[in-house]
Amino acid sequence: MLLQLSGISKRYGAEPVLNNISFHVNERERIGMVGVNGAGKSTLLAIIAGELVPDAGTVNRRKGIRIGYLAQNGGLHSERTIWEEMRDVFADVLEMEREMRELEIRIADPKEMENPGRYEELLTRYAALSDRFRERGGFGIDNRIRSVLHGMGFGAYPPDTPVAALSGGQKTRLALARLLLQEPDLLLLDEPTNHLDIETLSWLEDYLRGYPGAILVVSHDRYFLDALAESIIEIERHAAKRYTGNYSRYIEQKAAEYEAQLKAYEQQQEEIARMEDFIRRNIARASTSKRARSRRKMLERMERVERPAGEAKRASFAFEIDRQTGVDVLEVQDLAVRFEGSDRPLFRNVSFRLQRGETVAIAGPNGIGKSTLLKALLGKIQPETGMIRFGANVKIGYYDQEQANLHPDNTVLDEVWNAFPHLEEVRIRTVLGHFLFSGEDVLKKIASLSGGEKARVALAKLMLERANVLILDEPTNHLDLYSREALETALAEFEGTLLFISHDRYFLNKMAERILELTPDGVRVWLGNYDDMLEKKRELAELGAAPEPAPHPGDRANGGAARTEARNGAGVGMAQTVARSDASGGTARGDDGRGTGSAAEARDAGARTGGTASGEMSYEAMKQAKRLERQRQRRIEQLEAEIESLEAAIAAIEAELADPAVYMDYMLVQEKQKLLDEKRSALESAYAEWEQLMA
């Protein structure tokens, strides 16, 4: 065991943050820590690291344990260069190397050979030092440094780059790289995936899976937690609870645990009600009072099951639109952006189209120009060349990851109300309540808010715009896990068109129907979500092939409107994931020009357009079929939840009809029977649709 926490409690003023927290960390464990923003996760890490002192409780650390701690946004501050800072990790090993070089000079000196005894001592000293140097990995230090720097996104940086010249996010990445090279017995990482692009995230996951020490990580990155964590510690309502497995397994266990606790509570309440009724009816009777008193003693001794607390309050909102766009939402041709003073464009030859109802992600490494591309589309940056054309009835809502449109001196209430002065205060307060700002919270200054709170204010303003095209730049940044899930739910129900940037791979998997991978020379187009893109890249790598950047405007991404049709129960389509640099081609459409939602028609569309060179379905047919399959799965999930709810309602009504208090009341029986018939009819319809979708 590396460390043991016992009864840790911490308050800030009168507010409790942590209460009686106890758990242990074993060697080589990978533990994820989750909880809403403000739950106390960062505070707990700081206590474990020795940066904070708890108000109560103890942290027992194994003697000699080395702990490495990366605070959230805890960047490296140094006057040295990147290379000097990394080599400083191995200062004691490098001192051995310096001593070895000195010994080599002395050993080669003929004068030393004149004294055989002293010369033998030099050789013995050199051999021992050389063995220690080899054991400590001294011969591979520079290679290790290069490998970690490259993995953490510093491969293209000159080694003599001053640390002071780096941005805040880069300094945090460099601090993490330094920790990885140090290899402490326990790594404490607070949001380590912030500021990392997808390529770096993937490298970090692989590296940490093979890390020789233990890891305790706070993260809102669900994909990261699924890939790394072997157990999850949840901080909720100031307490800690541990679950075995990764994030997805934790969600399953938590839901099952709540259902079991609720069932146990309800069963006990029914038993208590029966006992109290028996006592009330029999306590006064001479013949039964003894039994009634016995029951009363049993009731008094009964250990009560507490009603489960349920989930903490979470954000809940929806993005609505005033009217739809035309079919063609956006066309981009040969776009290039060059910054002043640069000898080459940041990117060029960017061409793609966006149609009504599509959900499209823009991906690429940090610094490639993803945010710049969005700003060019919005007219905030003047492109060097190219054409940008929006379609009819387009109303854009933009989410800026920097939240530059928030005014620090405003209160939360004023920030939203100033943007929508025609709305009544009660409406503004209601909206803010959906984003977890209630009571005095709405009077906080924007400048005093955390990153997550600022993000929720920006999303509240975005929701009130009722835009039919949402352009989002890293919308999940700063949001906790539960707010991310609320955002995903809102966007899944959004009836407009969505173009977004995200490094959140879980979010990409849930939302993206197509990915535009930005490169310096154009975009590569991938059908499907993040995992689909990875799978296709692996296939291409095995074949020794690589997709070329899309060079021209043939990117005809039709069929976006099919998403709306599929929401309404459209048919089934099996899809293959393909990558095309030129996404041109026809679209499977009905007579009215909309996606029909039929799997057979999607297959027929592939036949009409002749498929690809390899005999596969056409790009458009496959894209539409894949979208319909996603919508089919979503509808199946909705129906299964509806069926479960209807069956529970029917069982409850049938139980009521068996109650003498009900079946003795003719009018009430008629009312209950009518409701029962309606529920049974709805259940029959739901089952029929479910069976059709499962066929």
Q: Would you say 366 and 441 are in contact if contact means Cβ atoms under 8 Å apart? A: no
Question: Rounded mean pLDDT of the chain?
Answer: 84
How far is the C-alpha of 114 from the C-alpha of 545, rounded, in Å?
Answer: 66
Structure tokens at 56: 């109560």
Residue 500 has pLDDT above 90, yes or no: yes
Q: 276 versus 651: which is more confidently predicted? A: 276
Question: What stretches of 66-153 adopt beta strand conformation (E)?
Answer: 67-70
The predicted model gives 179-186 an average pLDDT of 96
Percent of the chain clearing pLDDT 90 (strictly above): 53
Q: What is the DSSP letter of 459?
A: H
Residue 619 banded pLDDT, cuts 50, 70, 90: low
In this predicted structure, the answer to whether residue 593 has a pLDDT above a threshold of 50 is no
The answer, yes or no, to whether residue 181 has pLDDT greater than 70, is yes
CATH of 328-402+466-625, one of 3.40.50.300, 3.40.1190.20, 3.10.110.10, 3.90.25.10: 3.40.50.300
* Closest to 470 (Cα-Cα) out of 606, 575, 378, 598: 378
Asked whether the predicted pLDDT for residue 230 surpasses 90, the reply is: yes
Res 575: pLDDT = 33
Would the CA dihedral through 522, 526, 530, 531 be positive or negative? Answer: negative
Stated as kind and residue range, the H or E segment containing 104 is helix 91-107
Residues contacting residue 589 through CB under 8 Å, at least 6 positions apart: 558, 559, 595, 596
Domain parsing of the chain, residue ranges:
1-79+162-245, 259-300, 328-402+466-625, 633-694
Contacts of 17 (CB under 8 A, 6+ apart): 10, 11, 40, 43, 238
Q: Is the pLDDT of residue 74 over 80?
A: no
User: Same topology for domains 1-79+162-245 and 328-402+466-625, yes or no?
Assistant: yes
Contact 378, 319 (CB under 8 A): no
- Picking from 574, 548, 683, the residue whose alpha carbon sits closest to that of residue 628 is 574
CA 157 to chain centre: 29
Window from 253-267, 477-491, 592-606 with minimum mean pLDDT:
592-606
Assess contact for 542 and 571: CB atoms under 8 A: no
The correct CATH number of 633-694 out of 1.10.287.380, 1.10.10.10, 1.10.260.30, 3.30.420.40 is: 1.10.287.380
Q: In what order do the strands lie in the sheet with 359-363?
A: 396-399, 469-473, 497-501, 359-363, 514-519, 522-527, 579-580
Backbone angles phi, psi at 372, to 5 degrees: -60, -40
Span 438-484, pLDDT tens digits: 888 999 999 999 888 999 999 999 999 999 999 999 999 889 888 99
Spatial separation of the C-alpha atoms in residues 235 and 232, rounded to whole Å: 10
Per-residue pLDDT, 281 = 84
- Following CA atoms 615, 621, 627, 628 in sequence, which dihedral angle do they give, to the nearest 10 degrees? -100
Query: 3-state SS of 149-165?
Result: HHHCCCCCCCCCCEHHH
In the chain, what's the furthest Cα-to-Cα distance?
Answer: 120
**Range in 46-50, 107-111, 382-386, 417-421 the model is least confident about:** 107-111
Rounded to 5°, angle at Cα 415 from 410 and 420? 145
Q: What is the pLDDT of residue 504?
A: 93
Q: What is the CA 258 to chain-centroid distance, rounded?
A: 23
Residue 381: predicted pLDDT:
93
Mean pLDDT of 351-377: 94
Band of pLDDT at residue 552, cut at 50, 70 and 90? very low
Distance set, CA 143 to CA 57, 91, 146, 227 (Å):
43, 16, 5, 26
Q: d(Cα 60, Cα 3) in Å, to the nearest integer?
A: 5
CA-based torsion, 68, 73, 74, 79: positive or negative: positive
Tens digit of pLDDT for each residue in 7-66? 999 999 888 999 999 999 999 999 999 998 888 999 999 999 999 999 999 999 999 999
Decide: helix, strand or coil at residue 18. strand
- Which residues are 470's β-sheet partners? 397, 498
pLDDT level of residue 559 (50, 70, 90 thresholds): very low
Q: Which of 108-112, 179-183, 390-394, 488-492 has the lowest mean pLDDT?
A: 108-112
Which among 671, 543, 561, 559 is positioned nearest to 617, based on CA atoms?
559
Q: Domain 1-79+162-245 has what CATH class?
A: alpha beta
Residue 615 confidence (pLDDT) above 70: no
